[in-house]
Structure 1
Amino acid sequence: MQYSFTLPAGYDMSIVDRRIRDKGPSFDGFPHLRFKAFLSARKEDSAVASAENLYAPFYLWNETEGLNAFLAGAGFAALTHDLGWPSVRTWMVWHAELAADFSTAKYASREIEPILPYADLGALRARAVSQARDDGTTGALASVVAFDPTAWTTVRFRLWDSVPSVGAGTGQLYDVGHVSTS
């Protein structure tokens, strides 16, 4: 699951940093949560080049009960009161590969790609799972692959220790402010 807030070009991103610092630890041990990566991107940041200022947390849930409890809870209500009503993207997870130290990540990448009509979903899933398993050999601390059958897209989300490269036009890089785990 991910939602994203696009913030104005002149927005004081230290407000987002403070929110992550203050709220991040409260998600440690959140019921049914595998992890939550508190993500941001800055328009003027040279290490994580972004077209926009963003606050865009990414969640991996063990159970949908956690997702439902979060979205219906006071924390999400406060967030939307402060920043607006976001579109919440959800995907059906094909595979998650997590290194023991994934919560130490400093950067994240997210790539969303379309699924062509009548694609062999079984073969696509097998390639995506194999790729996720191999991501650790290229330095990824975590790799999640999933798909959205409503929009017919795949998502590949990875956590990194150092700045990665992403595919042109399909990827977004983020700074990781905190990773909460169950």
Structure 2
Amino acid sequence: MIAMQYSFTLPADYDMGIIDRRIRDRGQGTDGLPHLGFKAYLSARKGEFGSAENLYAPFYLWNAPEGASNFITGPGFEALTQSFGRPSIRQWMVWHAATAPDLGKAQFASSEVLPIEPHADLAGLKVQETERASRAGSRRDVLAAISAFEATTWSLVRFTLYRDAPLISGDGQIYRVGHMSLPA
């Protein structure tokens, strides 16, 4: 599995209603994509839930790399780049992904990207992160919990989808979910 996210930082005075309409009008276009675990259409408004910026930042879970590749080279992503430019795409190899049967009811998400310390015990970290994601995924308010890493900048991501606004603190980003694209 591969987790993937790109993010567009929008001006502080940007009308985020434009993003809401884009998600509403185009979100179903990724429903049922081959190899898609899910796509969460995410946005954040400056000042809401501690967000420092206005963001449009979809997050994907792919069951196979060819799904990500086909999407990035396809017409939907091309249309996105025509509107916003070509983004840098972060990709992580998944250590653990727990999803609930009612994943489509997600309303909020949190994402925390953390550095992996040099010379960290990677096997031990994988066990810890897998256990953490598994515990989070068993909570009633959580619809998905993902732990993944990437080895270019040596970082890990903790991504969580929630039914309701999360009561969390820390350095992570909280988003609203505008649409959930799920497998067919």
TM-score range, shorter chain: over 0.9
Structure 2 residue identity aligned to 1:28: D
Structure 1 contact 166–172 (Cα < 8 Å) conserved: no
Determine helix, strand or coil for the equivalent of 1:69: helix
Structure 1 contact 112–156 (Cα < 8 Å) conserved: yes
Q: Distance in 2 between matches of 1:113 and 1:146?
A: 11
Count of residues in Structure 1 that have an aligned counterpart in Structure 2: 179
Structure 2 residue identity aligned to 1:11: Y
Structure 1 residue identity aligned to 2:165: V
Offset at 1:102?
Answer: 1.5
Change (3 A) 1:87 1:166: farther
Q: Distance in 1 between matches of 2:91 and 2:58?
A: 12
Q: Distance in 1 between matches of 2:12 and 2:69?
A: 32
Q: Distance in 2 between matches of 1:160 and 1:168?
A: 16
Structure 1 residue identity aligned to 2:40: A
Structure 1 contact 40–56 (Cα < 8 Å) conserved: yes
Of all paired residues, the percent bearing the same amino acid is 54
Partner of residue 173, structure 2: 172
Q: TM-score, normalised by structure 2?
A: 0.94
Deviations 1:24-55 (A, max 9, x none): 1111111110100000000143xx33100000
Structure 1 contact 3–57 (Cα < 8 Å) conserved: yes
Deviations 1:74-129 (A, max 9, x none): 11111011012211000011110001111101000001111111111111001111
Structure 1 contact 33–181 (Cα < 8 Å) conserved: yes
Unpaired segments ≥5 residues, structure 1: none
Determine helix, strand or coil for the equivalent of 2:50: coil
Structure 2 residue identity aligned to 1:96: A
Candidates 46, 66, 84, aligned match of 1:43: 46
Does 1:73 find its partner at 2:77?
no
Moved more, 11-20 or 132-141: 132-141
Q: Distance in 1 between matches of 2:90 and 2:134?
A: 24
Cα RMSD (Å): 1.1
Structure 2 residue identity aligned to 1:105: A
Partner of residue 92, structure 2: 91
Unpaired segments ≥5 residues, structure 2: none
Question: Which stretches of structure 1, 4 residues or longer, exceed 3 Å deviation after superposition?
Answer: none
